[in-house]
């Protein structure tokens, strides 16, 4: 696959729930790097929080999971499959992310079988850690 890669070429997600804008590095079945550019026009900012818009932590974790899904689905062994959340462990949020920032995403997969996998994701802004989590997923037929 040619890089940078558009996430909608791999993921079934579509706006407004496509939370990765670009994939800049990809090792199918192993790892991926990408970003989510937050314009401030996203609907959730108006309610989270009025006067102090902040990216919800759960959406940071979802963006990491989507990037991990790209790493899984780019592997030809998983054509026609769909990785779904099986669990989130050790999630930690280290800084707020606000409109206008770019959330840099990195995911590495540590285990991957025909039915499930495990990975670790890190989200940062300008080199400053914003979030990290261990991700568990199951792989089902699409």
Pairing of strands 102-112, 31-37: antiparallel
- Examine the residue annotation and report whether 120 is marked as an active-site residue of this protein: no
> How many helices (H) and strands (E) in the chain?
2, 6
Q: Angle at Cα 69 formed by Cα 99 and Cα 74, nearest 5°?
A: 120
3-state class (DSSP) for residue 16: coil
What does the DSSP 8-state code read for residue 5? B
Q: Could you give phi then psi for residue 65, rounded to 5 degrees?
A: -65, -40
Catalytic one of 13, 48, 95, 118: 48
DSSP state string for 22-56: EEEEEETTTEEEEEEE--S-STHHHHSSTTS----
| Catalytic (active-site) positions | 48
């Amino acid at each position: 696959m040619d890089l940078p890669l558009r996430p909608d070429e791999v993921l079934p997600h579509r706006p407004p729930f496509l939370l990765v804008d670009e994939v800049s590095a990809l090792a199918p079945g192993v790892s991926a790097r990408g970003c989510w550019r937050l314009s401030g026009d996203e609907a959730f900012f108006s309610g989270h929080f009025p006067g102090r818009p902040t990216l919800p932590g759960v959406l940071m974790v979802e963006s990491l999971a989507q990037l991990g899904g790209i790493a899984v689905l780019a592997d030809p062994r998983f054509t026609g499959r769909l990785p779904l959340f099986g669990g989130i462990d050790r999630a930690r949020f280290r800084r707020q992310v606000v409109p206008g920032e770019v959330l840099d995403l990195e995911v590495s997969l540590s285990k991957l079988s025909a039915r499930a996998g495990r990975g670790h994701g890190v989200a940062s802004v300008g080199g400053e850690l914003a979030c990290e989590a261990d991700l568990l997923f199951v792989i089902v037929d699409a």
